[in-house]
Amino acid sequence: MTIPEKQIFPRTGDRETVYLKNVITNPNISVGDFTMYNDFVNDPTLFEKNNVLYHYPINHDRLRIGKFCSIACGAKFLFNSANHTMSSMSTYPFPLFFEEWDLRREDVTKAWDNKGDIIIGNDVWIGYEAVIMAGITIGDGAVIGTRALVTKDVPPYTIVGGIPAKPIRKRYSAQTISDLLEIKWWDWPREKIAEKISAIQSGCIEQLK
């Protein structure tokens, strides 16, 4: 299941919404098919510059976003270089200014704490101006509320909101969530998804089995 290689704007006349996969150039960012980003403030094709922050190649950290995600305007992904180290007596990033302080260039990453990659599952909705911190994993089907600050992992099909983000409720029963995670409809061929769209939209899990 793929989308046309050069199909950036999926909606006729809409230059604020992009298929995110087709505007990504950074090899440390991967995005699944049909994931969309909307930006009514900035150019949505500049997602890497405006939304993926402190993401420096020296860290080798990655942003992985699954299929069929919906990312609202201004959502931010803050990577490891934003995490000034807490193991030092000072949070000032001395290693970053190695020339000034006669430090070793190769120790520059000691200026921050590396918490790991950001991993976003499939069918995740990230609300307006939400912030996702380094090292966070968001499960399939989760919903991140408007301006939420996500500092802990979010389980599948869980709605979170607030600063810091906390669970509000599960979207479905435990059994339905288990069924959805087993079905993985986002991995189906495009033709099967089109055939089952009514069932997906109506929430009829029995028709998806």
12-32 average pLDDT score: 96
Any long-range contacts for 186-192 (C-beta under 8 Å, 24+ apart)? 186/32, 186/66, 186/67, 186/68, 186/122, 186/123, 186/140, 187/1, 187/67, 187/122, 188/1, 189/1, 190/1, 190/2
pLDDT score, position 54: 96
Query: And the tokens for 201?
Result: 């939209």
Contact 140, 187 (CB under 8 A): no
Does 84 participate in catalysis according to the annotation?
Answer: yes
Instruction: Provide φ and ψ at 126, rounded to 5°.
Output: -110, 120
Segment 138-188, tens digit of pLDDT: 999 999 999 999 999 999 999 999 999 999 999 999 999 999 999 999 999
Nearest to 20 by CA among 59, 62, 73, 82: 73
pLDDT score, position 3: 53
Q: What is the mean pLDDT of the chain?
A: 94
- Band the pLDDT of 61: cuts 50, 70, 90: very high
What is the Cα 124 distance to its own chain's centre? 8
Percent of the chain residues topping a pLDDT of 90: 91
> Catalytic pick from 84, 115, 147, 171?
84
pTM recorded for the entire structure? 0.93
User: Does domain 17-85+113-171 match CATH 2.160.10.10?
Assistant: yes
Instruction: Provide φ and ψ at 17, rounded to 5°.
Output: -120, 130
Ranges of each domain in the chain: 17-85+113-171, 173-209
pLDDT score, position 203: 81
